[in-house]
């Protein structure tokens, strides 16, 4: 931690729990606890893991033109999202790359967004500059954010707010706790069932402690959060997504709403619609190394044991505790994208065979 690092409302709880704290996106954040990353990962898969994600940005867009205005910045159906529902979105640039990926919900009164921590200042500036007219952009600074993930997440959260039992994947609800309003979505970043909970600072630690008092719940750090999202085959901004990587290259064609594909009208529409129609030059794929050594981001991928056959780069990689072996994602030339294709990584000067594998590495378990 440096003197400039910000602290979330749960900082004292993390240090009391023995967390290893590291600088992350301008905050002092827990990367792991005494349990260790491997066991934290396994605990979340088996029971309920509690993640502090208060470093992420929370934004409210309001005004009668908010939905239509936001559609000019995202290739996503905003106006058609029903009240009480959430959707995955992408802020694109004029070149068809990705400024950020995010979640947004229709609360019935306004749009509630959660954006990535490292991008939130730029996102808010971009929204403020480009959402003109009657749209107001308000950064929420008086709320914390927790993610409760795992097969027992519903049981745990229902002890505080029983109505979560009625929610399905991507539902949004505003629920009362100790006289305060929680913004609850049934979503997360692990590929598992769970919730994200936006909490007023006044009761943030009370909510966290009440969740931790349940026998199923443990604090989980950024280390296991990353291994869980990697097994789930989920993109991480700055790795699988960037201003140069298009949503189609990143394997997110499903996120481009059908209602937006006909006429475009969003930033970067020429490149994105062309890649939907004719294919992208690169494609995100899953990789399984044949050995036990993980292929980290930046590792180069080749079609043969010859550096002249370079076809791609690993974007994320590590050990998958659930699959009990190394896993990676990479951007490769689309001609080599097919599952089962044998490729090679150049690892510390030696050729390491790898096989393209279907994503996700671990199937999702959302409550539909």
102: which 2 tokens? 């995010």
Place of tokens 């494609």: 283
Is residue 169 within 8 A of residue 187, CB to CB? The reply is yes
What pLDDT, on the 0 to 100 scale, is given for residue 3? 58
CA atoms in the 13 A half-sphere facing the CB of 269:
15
The pLDDT value recorded for residue 262 is 86
DSSP string, 77-93: --TTPPTTEEEEEEEE-
Residue with tokens 């050729």: 351
pLDDT of residue 146: 98
Domains and CATH numbers, the chain: 11-57+142-231 (3.30.1360.120), 281-357 (2.40.30.110)
Phi, psi values for residue 83, rounded to 5°:
-60, 140
Low pLDDT (below 50) residues in the chain: none
CA distance linking residue 88 with residue 185, whole number of Å: 12
Residue 144 in tokens: 């914390």
With beta carbons less than 8 A apart as the criterion, state whether 28 and 6 touch. yes
Q: The whole model's pTM is what?
A: 0.96
CB contact at 8 A, 158 and 219: no
> Tens of pLDDT along 83-116?
999 999 999 999 999 999 999 999 999 999 999 9
Taking a C-beta distance cutoff of 8 angstroms, is the pair 212, 227 a contact? Answer: no
Is residue 84 packed enough to be buried (19+ CB in 10 Å), middle (13-18) or exposed (0-12)?
A: middle
């Amino acid at each position: 931690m440096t003197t400039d690092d910000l602290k979330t409302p749960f900082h004292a709880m993390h240090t009391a729990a023995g967390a290893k704290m590291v600088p992350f996106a301008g905050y002092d954040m827990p990367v792991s606890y005494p349990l260790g990353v491997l066991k934290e990962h396994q605990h979340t898969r088996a029971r309920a893991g509690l993640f502090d994600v208060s470093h992420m940005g929370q934004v409210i867009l309001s005004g009668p033109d908010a939905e239509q205005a936001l559609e000019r910045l995202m290739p996503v159906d905003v106006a058609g999202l029903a009240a009480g529902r959430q959707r995955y979105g992408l802020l694109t640039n004029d070149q068809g790359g990705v400024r950020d990926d995010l979640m947004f919900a229709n609360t019935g009164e306004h749009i509630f967004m959660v954006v990535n921590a490292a991008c939130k200042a730029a996102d808010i500036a971009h929204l403020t500059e480009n959402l003109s007219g009657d749209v107001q952009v308000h950064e929420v600074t008086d709320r914390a954010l927790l993610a409760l993930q795992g097969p027992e997440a519903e049981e745990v959260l229902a002890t505080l707010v029983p109505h979560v039992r009625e929610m399905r994947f991507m539902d949004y609800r505003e629920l009362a706790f100790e006289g305060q309003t929680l913004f609850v979505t049934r979503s997360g970043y692990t590929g598992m069932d769970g919730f994200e909970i936006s909490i007023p600072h006044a009761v943030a630690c009370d909510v966290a402690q009440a969740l931790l008092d349940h026998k199923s719940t443990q604090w989980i750090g950024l280390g296991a959060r990353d291994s869980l999202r990697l097994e789930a085959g989920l993109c991480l901004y700055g790795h699988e997504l960037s201003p140069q990587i298009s949503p189609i290259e990143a394997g997110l064609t499903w996120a481009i709403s059908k209602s937006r594909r006909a006429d475009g009208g969003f930033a970067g529409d020429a490149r994105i619609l062309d890649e939907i129609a004719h294919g992208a030059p690169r494609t995100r794929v899953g990789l399984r190394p044949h050995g036990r050594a993980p292929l980290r981001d930046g590792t180069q991928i080749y079609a043969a044991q010859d550096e002249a056959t370079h076809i791609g780069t690993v974007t994320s990689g590590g050990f998958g505790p659930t699959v009990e072996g190394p896993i990676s994602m990479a951007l490769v030339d689309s001609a080599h994208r097919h599952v089962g294709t044998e490729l090679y990584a150049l690892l510390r000067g030696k050729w390491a065979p790898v096989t393209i594998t279907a994503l996700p590495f671990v199937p999702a378990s959302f409550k539909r």
